[in-house]
Structure 1
Amino acid sequence: MAYYNLKKKPVFTTKEGEKETLYAGIVYSGTISSERLISKVAERSGFKEGELAGALIELLNEVAYQIGEGYIVELGDFGYFSGKIKSRLVANKDDIRSQSVHFNGVNFRASKKFRMMARGELERNPYHNFRQSKEWSNEALDKFVTEHIEKHGFITRTIYSQLTGRLKNKALDDLKRMAAKGIIEREGYGNQMHFVKKTE
C-alpha cells in the first residue's frame, strides 16, 4: 500500500481567472538500500546474499561499460538504459571537437511489464490532517511511528516529516525521543539512516 497527498497546483502554472486546483502526489515511504533489497530477495529465493551482491556489482560494471561503448542496454524486464552526452553550444559544426563532448548521465526507460508490475494500491494519507495542526501529543506520534514500522519495516526522518508535517529538526527530536524511550532504534548513517522497531 502506498499513500498520496493532495497538493495545490503551483501558482505559476495557473492561468488568470482559473480556479485553484489540486493534484495527487505520492508520499514516499523512504529509500530501500541495496543491502536491504538484497536481503529481502535472499529471504524468498535460493540465492545467498553474497551471490546476489556479486551479481549486482558485475551487472553494474557491464551495463556501465556497454553504455560507454554507445549501446542501449536492455536489462531484463526492468527496461532500457542509454547514455546522455553534452557539449557546448556553437554556431559552426567545425567548432566542436571530440574533447569538448562528454557523457553526462544515463537515461532509463522502464519496460511496459515493469511499469505494470510497479502499480501498487494507493490510499490517501490517513495522517494528512497532521499538516494542519501544530499540537499533537507524543503518544499520538509514538502510535503513528509504531504502526508505520509494523507495516513497512522502517521509517526515515524524511518520510516522517512528509506524513506528519513536522519540520526537519523537530522530526529528528521526535525520533530521538522515541529511540531514547526504547520504542525504536536507529540503523545506518547519513542518507541511509532509518529507524526500526527496537529489538528485545
Structure 2
Amino acid sequence: MSAYYDLYETPSPNGKEDKKSLHARVCSKKTYTKKEFVEHVSMFQHLPKNMVGAALDACIDELCDLLANGNIVELGELGFFSTSLKCLRETDDEKTKIRSESVQFQNVNLRISSAFRKRIKHSMVLERTHSATKKAKKEKTVTEKIRKERLALFLQQNVCINKNEYIQLSGLTRHAAIDELNKFIQQGFLRRRGMGRSTVYVQQEEVPNTNE
C-alpha cells in the first residue's frame, strides 16, 4: 500500500508572484475513529477487541492524570508527552509578581522519538496523485476558447480524456470542469463513453455532408 501525496504552491512571504515553489502534502485517505482504530489493532495484532479498547482508555486516563500533575511521560518509541503553559499578563520584569490565576495550561506537546520517525520513513511508500480537494490554479487569461483548443490538442495526442485529467488541463474546479465537459457535449464537440468512474470523453466525429 502507498501513501498518496500531491504538490501545492508555497505562498510567497512577500506576496510576490515570481519564483513560486512547490511543497508536497499527504492526501489523507480517511480519518480513523477510536472504534475503527481499536478494530484495526485487534485485527492485525490478534488481540481481543474489548481488551484493546479497555487498555487504550486506561492509557489515556493515566496519561491525562500524570500530565496534569506536571510530569513528562515517555511512551516507548512513540516519544515524550509534556505540557506547556501561557501567561495571561505580559511582563519583561522578573520582579513583577504574576499570580497563579494569570498562568494557565496551554497545550500538550509530543516530541516524537527518532526511532519512531525511522520506522515510518522506512515503511512509507509514496505515490503521486491529484487531490480532488486542491483548489485549481487561477488563470485569468485562459478563456473557454483557449481551453477548448487545449482539449482538442490533448485529444489528438491521447484520443480520450477523463474528468480528473480535464480538471488539471483546464485549471477549473471539479464542478466547473464537469459543467464545461457537458457543455462541449451539447455543442457536439465531445462524446461521452463509459459509465461511472470509467467515463471518458472523445472528440465527436464530424458527420459527412450527404448533400454534396
TM-score (norm 1): 0.61
Counterpart residue number, 1:122? 126
Q: CA deviation at 1:58?
A: 0.8
Over 3 Å counting, the alpha-carbon distance change for 1:57 and 1:17 in structure 2 is closer
Distance change (3 Å), C-alpha of 1:31 and 1:17: closer
* Structure 2 residue 151 is matched with structure 1 residue 97: no
The corresponding residue for 1:108 is 110
Q: Deviations over 1:54-79 (max 9, x none)?
A: 11111111111111111111011111
List gaps (5 residues or longer) in structure 1: 145-200
Q: Which residue of 2 aligns with 1:68?
A: 68
Q: Matched residues in 1 for 2:93 and 2:48: separation? A: 56
Distance between the aligned counterparts of 2:93 and 2:33, measured in 1? 46
Going from structure 1 to structure 2, the CA distance change for 1:3 and 1:44 (only over 3 Å counts) comes to: closer
Q: Secondary structure at the match of 2:85?
A: strand
The corresponding residue for 2:203 is: none
Q: Normalization by structure 2: what TM-score?
A: 0.58
Who is 1:148 aligned against? none
Cross-structure match for 1:5: 6
TM-fit CA distance, 1:140: 8.2
Residue identity over aligned pairs, in percent, reads 27
| In structure 1, C-alpha distance between the alignment counterparts of 2:107 and 2:32, rounded to whole Å | 22
Greater CA deviation, 37-46 or 119-128? 119-128
Tell me the amino acid that sits aligned with residue 29 of structure 2.
Answer: S
Change (3 A) 1:139 1:26: farther
- What is the deviation of 1:45? 2.8
Q: How many residues align?
A: 143
- Match for 1:117: what amino acid? R
Counterpart AA for 1:121: V
2:142 aligns with none
Query: Which amino acid in the other structure matches residue 126 of structure 2?
Result: L
Bigger relative contact order (CA 8 A; separation at least 6): 1
1:121-179 superposed Cα distances (whole Å, 9 cap, x missing partner): 111105674453512789989438xxxxxxxxxxxxxxxxxxxxxxxxxxxxxxxxxxx
In the aligned structure 1, how far is the partner of 2:195 from the partner of 2:67?
A: 47
Give the secondary structure class of the aligned counterpart of 1:53: helix
Instruction: Give the structure 1 partner of residue 54 of structure 2.
Output: 54
Q: How does 1:1-200 map to 2 (within 5 A)?
A: 1-12=2-13, 19-87=19-87, 88-93=89-94, 94-119=96-121, 120-125=124-129, 129=165, 130-131=167-168, 132-133=171-172, 134-135=177-178, 142-143=196-197
1:139–1:29: structure 2 CA closer, same or farther, 3 Å change rule? farther
SS at match of 1:95: coil
